[in-house]
Chains A and B, each alone.
Chain A
Amino acid sequence: GAGVSQSPSNKVTEKGKDVELRCDPISGHTALYWYRQSLGQGLEFLIYFQGNSAPDKSGLPSDRFSAERTGGSVSTLTIQRTQQEDSAVYLCASSLTTDTQYFGPGTRLTVL
């Protein structure tokens, strides 16, 4: 079946603009995760969804970041008033259980 998909694959925006990143998980996967990977850095956990609820938002770096998930499927990560330090690859993963996560191709965000 289809894997995790993300859109857009690349996003270039100006400082101060809002951006929305989309993740479509593997069908049937109840858990969904967002990570951020900056150049030369490891994966930084942002937020976790189980179904439509987010029991763990501990990784969101500031209140400019928010995420939602609807219908237990698609998730949107929104970054408001983007800053240059937000430039990174944003990765989404989904899993059927609490462990093995499968990653999407990522969205490369560049804030000018």
Chain B
Amino acid sequence: QKEVEQNSGPLSVPEGAIASLNCTYSDRGSQSFFWYRQYSGKSPELIMFIYSNGDKEDGRFTAQLNKASQYVSLLIRDSQPSDSATYLCAVLAYSGAGSYQLTFGKGTKLSVIP
């Protein structure tokens, strides 16, 4: 059973601070890692993906991957109230049933306080 674990939060940070969101996964064969943002009542939208160990930066967002520790994180710099949402970590691995399956964590709720 592939598992993706996230702290459910809520994680509260003041406006302008760095928000750090963490995720661990169980399947060492996982190949790709994704962060989705989901506003209340809306569908998930892709923020970033990362394949290789290390950091990947895109604007205010940085994804970090450590395959040895089976750990992936998302840093949001200069957090804004509009960043308040639930952040879903998703991990892609071969499902053994002829497809690659994306397994989602339950998400971390982030609240940015003005």
B contact set with A: CB distance below 8 Å: 4, 32, 34, 36, 42-46, 49, 88, 90, 92, 95, 97-107
Contact = CB atoms under 8 A, between A and B. Distances in A.
Interface string A56-95: 1110000000000000000000000000000000010000
Q: Interface SS of chain B: helix, strand, loop or mixed? A: strand
B4 to A, nearest CB: 8
Nearest to A89: B43
Contacts of B92: 98-99
Contacts of A41: 106
A101 interface: yes
B106 to A, nearest CB: 4
A33 B106 CA distance: 18
Contacts of A99: 32, 34, 49, 92, 100
A56 B98 contact: yes
A41 B106 CA distance: 6
A52 to B, nearest CB: 14
A76 B15 CA distance: 43
Nearest to A45: B101
B43 A45 contact: no
A42 B100 contact: no
A41 B101 CA distance: 18
A45 B104 CA distance: 9
Contacts of A48: 99, 101
A28 interface: no
Contacts of B99: 48, 50, 55-56, 98
